[in-house]
Structure 1
Amino acid sequence: MTVHNELRLLPWSGPNGKPCFLSPATDGGYLSRLADNTEAVQLGLGAELLEHALDVLAAEDAEDEELHLLAIDLTGALRDILRVAESRGHRLPTTSGAVSQPGEEGPHLSASAFC
């Protein structure tokens, strides 16, 4: 089993919204731990926001402004969670059983890799 030797996509953006990356040589260092903690916070906030969204949508008296703000918050949380998923997906180890589809990037694992 080998590990991807790619730059790690960090869970925050740089100037002008550009992605930030961390060299794998610094894995386990301060920035890596900060990124891990930031990802955990983002995922936790996303889960809390989902619960709030379910409550708001279940209420029959939700106002347009409240729904608009909810949509903005959900969009931000989805952006953060997709970035976490992309970053973690690129760091998955590959195995000899990896399955790749033409034109797709990133690691691909067969179902047997999860058993």
Structure 2
Amino acid sequence: MADTTETARLLPWTSPDGKPCLLVGDGTGYVSRIADTMEEAQLCLAAELIEEAWRVLGERTWTSGELHLLAVQLTESLADVHRVAESQGARLPHPDDEGDGGPQLPAEAFG
């Protein structure tokens, strides 16, 4: 039998007034797929921005305006990546949840 437990998911966008948007569901619907696609795009953009930042900083020929723009873009990207991490982390199974929570360490590992 399929698990029909519904949880609230933090979406990778905010409302027009800047409030968090949440989706309640099992994670298989249309809006969930759009959110997955958007999160993937945000993470790819962050990776590209990191490469660009290393290039710009490595050249050591930047202006204060270029550094300011880079800082703004990195901050925006960091906020997006933080939201993705919060959203995905909230959907991970917790150790005290029932069911298979992934691999378990043997008791001997704790000395």
Q: TM-score, normalised by structure 2?
A: 0.79
Shift of 1:86: 0.2
Q: Which amino acid aligns with 1:10?
A: L
1:65–1:110 CA distance, 2 compared to 1 (3 A): farther
1:13 counterpart letter in structure 2? T
- Following superposition of structure 1 onto structure 2, how do residues 75-86 of structure 1 map, counting pairs within 5 Å? 75-86=75-86
Residue 28 (structure 1) aligns with: 28
Deviation for aligned residue 1:90: 0.3
Structure 1 counterpart of 2:90, one-letter code: H
Q: Distance in 2 between matches of 1:12 and 1:51?
A: 24
- Mapped partners of 1:47, 1:5: distance in 2: 32
Distance 1:41 1:110 in 2: 30
Q: Which amino acid aligns with 1:8?
A: R
TM-score, normalisation: structure 1? 0.77
How large is the Cα RMSD of the aligned pairs?
2.6
Consecutive unaligned residues of structure 1, counting only runs of 5 or more, are 98-108
- State the SS of the aligned residue for 1:16: coil
* RCO comparison, higher one (Cα < 8 Å, 6+): 1
Q: Computing the radius of gyration over CA atoms, which structure comes out larger, 1 or 2?
A: 2
Distance 1:64 1:40, change over 3 A: same
Alignment gaps of 5+ in structure 2: 106-111
Aligned length: 100
Distance 1:39 1:18 in 2: 18
**Cα distance in 2 for residues equivalent to 1:93 and 1:80:** 22
Partner of 2:61: 61
> Which residue identity does 1:14 align to in structure 2?
S
- Cα distance between partner residues in 2 of 1:60 and 1:110: 47
